[in-house]
Amino acid sequence: MIPPDIDRKTALFLDLDGTLLEIAAGPEQVVVPPGLPALLADLHRLLGGALAIVSGRSLSDIDRLLQPFVASAGGEHGGSLRFGDGSRVETPSGLVVPEEWHRALRDAAGRWPGVQVEPKPHGVTVHYRLVPERRDDVWQMMRALVPDDHPEFRLLPARKAAEIALRSVSKGHAVESLMARVPFQGRHPIFVGDDVTDEAGMSAARQFGGKGLRVAEVFGGQPERVIAWLRRGADRLSEGGSPNLAPIGTSP
């Protein structure tokens, strides 16, 4: 599949890990390509602000990784939203994973070297990438904490990780909320993601007449090819290129 052109009516929704950044051994070990924040800033300007990062990471983590670039965003799969004017919405307000769950997960990680616990403002992710043989242990414990019928939280599968997340939100919720506001309103959304949790965002983009692009299918599973596509879009929109951008990625 050939990715569509980015034009003046496009609204871009981009996942982070596995889409713009290569998956690393742990969430703190990802490497941000040096030219990526500048490229995102350029596209954000060329699209009149209609670019958002929609990630399982928290908003503060997104901003830390992409600094100095700051824009509309959906953190924790839409649990935290930031709009173009800088305003924020937490959905639902004040709901967080109980401390006893955090404690139980930390204790388990202490018994299972290589398992990493990533706390978030509303949820928590447990990574077993370094010790894939612990997959069943991690899932068994987390299912004991969060049964299928829990009214407030749910378990989400990720790439060699399991996450406790808010039941009432998704990346689809983030897309819908942002598309209801300027500058996204009335545009054709493109959602790019690599994981199961991105499916809701892709589905929402299609409901607005746009497209959902899976990194594995459209970009050969390579974030550098996603970045190359974004660069081509920025070059096209700026009518002849953006010479101030540092080279990043390679063409597919």
Q: What is the CATH number of domain 99-166?
A: 3.30.70.1020
Instruction: Give residue 92's pLDDT.
Output: 64
Domains 10-91+169-237 and 99-166 equal at CATH topology level: no
**Helix, strand or coil, per DSSP, at residue 89:** strand
Mean pLDDT over 66-95 rounds to 89
State the average pLDDT for the chain.
90
**Helix, strand or coil, per DSSP, at residue 131:** coil
Q: Is domain 10-91+169-237 given the CATH code 3.40.50.1000 in the classification?
A: yes
| Catalytic residue from among 7, 15, 85, 195 | 15
Tens digit of pLDDT for each residue in 6-62?
999 999 999 999 999 998 877 888 999 999 999 999 999 999 999 999 998 999 999
Task: Tell me the whole-structure pTM to 2 decimals.
Answer: 0.83
15 catalytic residue (yes or no): yes
Token pair recorded at residue 212:
């959902």
Domains of the chain, by residue range, sit at: 10-91+169-237, 99-166
Q: Compute how many other C-beta atoms are within 10 angstroms of the C-beta atom of residue 9.
A: 11
Pairing state between β 161-166 and 10-14: unpaired
Tens digit of pLDDT for each residue in 166-213?
887 899 999 999 999 999 999 999 999 998 889 999 999 999 999 999
Instruction: Give residue 97's pLDDT.
Output: 85
Mean pLDDT over 155-161 rounds to 86
